[in-house]
Each structure stands twice: as structure tokens, then as C-alpha cells.
Amino acid sequence: MKLINNISIEAQPMSSSAVTRQFTVEGDVGAIFSLTVTNEDGHFYNFSEELDKEGALVTAVAFAAAGARLASKTIGKDGVYAGEITFPAITDDDVYSIVLTADSYSDTVLNPDLSNNNVYVLPLIYKYLDTTITFSLSSAGSASSYNTLPSNVTTTGISSSVSNLNTSKNVIISWPVTLSESQFVIAKQPQAIDFQFTTTSTSKTAGSSTKTIEVASLKGLSVGMGVAGTGVASGSVITSITPGYFDSSKSSDLKDFYVVPKVILTDENGIESISDDEGGTITIDKSSTYDAGITVTFTGKGNTGASNFNNTIFNVENILLTIDPVVTTTDAAVSSSTTIPLASTNGIKAADTVLMTGIGVTAASPHVDAISAGVNITASSAQTLENGQTMTFTGSSRSATITATITILKFGKDDITLTLALDNILTVA
């Protein structure tokens, strides 16, 4: 009786590109085995080991519906059979099952440490799509005032499901933003925390004047995330997260008891397993009244939120918001007057921080006290100016530029969109 003692192949998850992995089967000289590899679609790997008339290796589609295997291979005098498997590039996540069998007709069996029935199923090998991080802009409160926002900026890297090692990939952002009407001023300089993302879950039960919400999934949630949904108090924030659901029958005045239900999961091979339900209970900072089955939207912010959500880690460096000066001309002469007629008042705001400069303007750089749209502005001090004189206004505008260098230290397990909230940094009048 001849023994197959071991099979070795790297089981680390793979990235989306084509990957070739070596395998070895160890055993007694003359032992005979077969090897079958299938993917999640039930397609079989073609071990193409025949040579054509030119002596070249015959090539075939890596995985095909027709049954195929590496059949009846004999272990040589060194006690090892070596081969390779090429896992092709993918367009969606994939998983592979490898099965080693001993050819019992040839008096070969698997070592009992591997199997007692001459069949050994190796641990599944996973292949994941690369992760895409998207940086975008949005305005919830003043969307109608903005012209078309600049295009998203994307970058792609190996998912942390494949490798949890840190990387370093720079993304350069330069976003010009303009208004079609009104004007904006800088509310504050942007920070990493102003990049936000959202995820959703569903309420399992209704709540009345309560600060707790039972949701179908806690995946990616963390303390500090914003919470929104029909009936959820505006501006609510997660203050705590508890796996499982409240059980009144087991709770007391001294302690609340939460039960984590068990669920049955079925993997790609149809094998069932028991796992903890991924849902649970969140506590928010404001009492709310809501129905069962509502969509609850959670907003995460900055690097901390993204890291907790899906293992995305990034640094924002040299981020800067600048607004362009408004340049226009007088359209009539002014003699010792605070009323300054202008060819255009677009982008000019009446504020102590909006200053006027130009040839002939007093050195004090007067600010703008009032505006008659499209006609004139009222300056804080009287001026004497010629017709057609160029005037420059700083502090408000209809155009701005956002620049930043973002370093991706780790691509998360799946795609994420990080949106810079314009309403946090620009106030549209």
C-alpha cells in the first residue's frame, strides 16, 4: 500500500490579477493521485499538460463548465510531484476548492492524518477584486447654487482582505468649484474629518421615545457615526453599540440582557455552518420614534470612521481652500461717495471681511456694507474713482479651488466613496 502524505499550496487570499501558484504532492514513490480544482461557479480548472506537435504546452481556458482534473499522476523517485495552477484575473470575487484523491485501484491511499476516505478537501482559497477609493464633492444645502461639480478622483489598490500590510499611494486633488448664483465665503479650512461616507441598515423593530434602535446589521458601524432615518431625531449620533437584541424576560432593574441569535450560513460549496447574527442594538444621543423596517443611514467621518468601517486608512496633507478674488470695474465716476456703481456685483457679499482694493481706493481698504445687485455696492468709506476703474474684492466669490495630497496607507476590504461636504467649508449666501 502506497501513501499520499501531504499536499502544499499557498492559501493566502489573492488579488484580482492573474496569479500562478505552485503546489506539491508528497508521498511514496509510485503513489498515484488526482487533483480537482473548481471555482464558485462550479467550473473546473483545466490542467493542460499535453504538448502539441511543436512540443509546446497546450493552452486552454483556465476554468470551464466541462469536468476536468489532473488525473492519475504518479509520484516520482524523489517522493514529490510538483505542478502549478494559474488563477485567472477576475471581474468579481471568487473562491476556489481543491480536492485531492488517492487512486485506490492502484493500491494508493491518503495518509490517515489527511483523510480516512481517500478524499482530502483543502481549505478554500479566496480571490478578491482590488478596492477602489473614490473622492467626491457634494453640497446638501446649496446644491442648486453650484455649477457642475468637478469629477471624482479615484484610486485602486489591493484589498486588505488580501494583504493587511500598509501601503503608500498618493492621490493629488485639485477641484475648482463655482457658483451659478449668489456667493460664498470660507466657513473653515477643510480637514480630513470633512471627508464622509454613508452606509445603511434596517430597523428590526419600532421604537417610541427611545434612544435605542435594533438594526439588522452592525457591520461597519462605530461610535460617533451620524444616524438618520424617518422618525430618527435630526443630528443623532451613535453613543454605543451592543451585539444582539434586548431580552426583557432575562433583564432586570440592575442589568439589561441582550441575546445574539444564531443563523445558518451556506458557503460557496453548499456547506452549512452556524454563526452569530450580525445585527444588534445601537444607542443614540437623542430620543426618537420610528417604525420597524425603516432604512437607517449612518454617516462616518474621516480616517477614524473609514478605518472602523472597512479598514481604509488615509492621511490628508496640504489641504487648502482658496476663493478667487472678484474683479470688476466701475461703470460710472464716483466723487466722494460710498456708493460705488459696478459693472457686476456677482460674487460680492456685504460683510466686514469683504474688502475692496484698486487704484484710487483709500489705503484703508474699505469693506462692503451693502449691495444693490447688479447695480452698486455701498462701501464703508467714501471714495473718489474714475469710470472704468478696476476694482478687486476679496473675502467672497463665486469661484474657489480645493487642493490636497491624500496618502492611502491601506485600501479597505471593499470599495468606499469619501465625499467632501462643501457645506462644512463654504457658506453660500
**86 and 6 within one domain:** yes
pTM of the model: 0.84
CA distance 100 to 23: 12
Among the listed residues 159, 221, 233, 140, the one whose alpha carbon sits nearest the alpha carbon of residue 411:
159
In a domain, 298, yes or no: no
**Tens-place pLDDT, residues 302-330:** 999 999 999 999 999 999 999 999 999 99
pLDDT of 52 higher than 60 = no
**141 and 76 within one domain:** no
What is the identity of the amino acid at 271?
I
pLDDT, the chain, mean:
92
Average pLDDT over every residue of 335-351: 96
- Report how far apart, in Å, the C-alpha atoms of 202 and of each of 96, 205, 275, 294 are: 32, 9, 20, 6
**404 and 391 within one domain:** no
**418 and 386 within one domain:** no
Q: What is the pLDDT of residue 55?
A: 60
The model's confidence at residue 251, banded by pLDDT at 50, 70 and 90, is confident
**Which own/partner contact pairs does 165-169 have at CB distance under 8 Å and 24+ positions apart?**
166/313, 166/409, 166/410, 167/408, 167/409, 167/410, 167/411, 168/407, 168/408, 168/409, 169/407, 169/408
pLDDT of 64 higher than 90 = no
Length of the chain measured in residues? 429
| Structural domain of 120 | 2-127
CA distance 298 to 76: 60
Count of domains forming the chain? 4
Among the listed residues 182, 215, 190, the one whose alpha carbon sits nearest the alpha carbon of residue 345:
182
**62-66, 132-136, 257-261, 337-341: segment of lowest average pLDDT:** 62-66
Helices then strands, counting H and E runs in the chain, come out as 2, 35
Average pLDDT over every residue of 294-300: 97
For the chain, the C-alpha Rg in angstroms (whole number) is 33
**405 and 362 within one domain:** no
* CATH number, domain containing residue 66: 2.60.40.1930
**255 and 217 within one domain:** yes
**117 and 32 within one domain:** yes
**135 and 114 within one domain:** no
Q: What is the pLDDT of residue 59?
A: 59
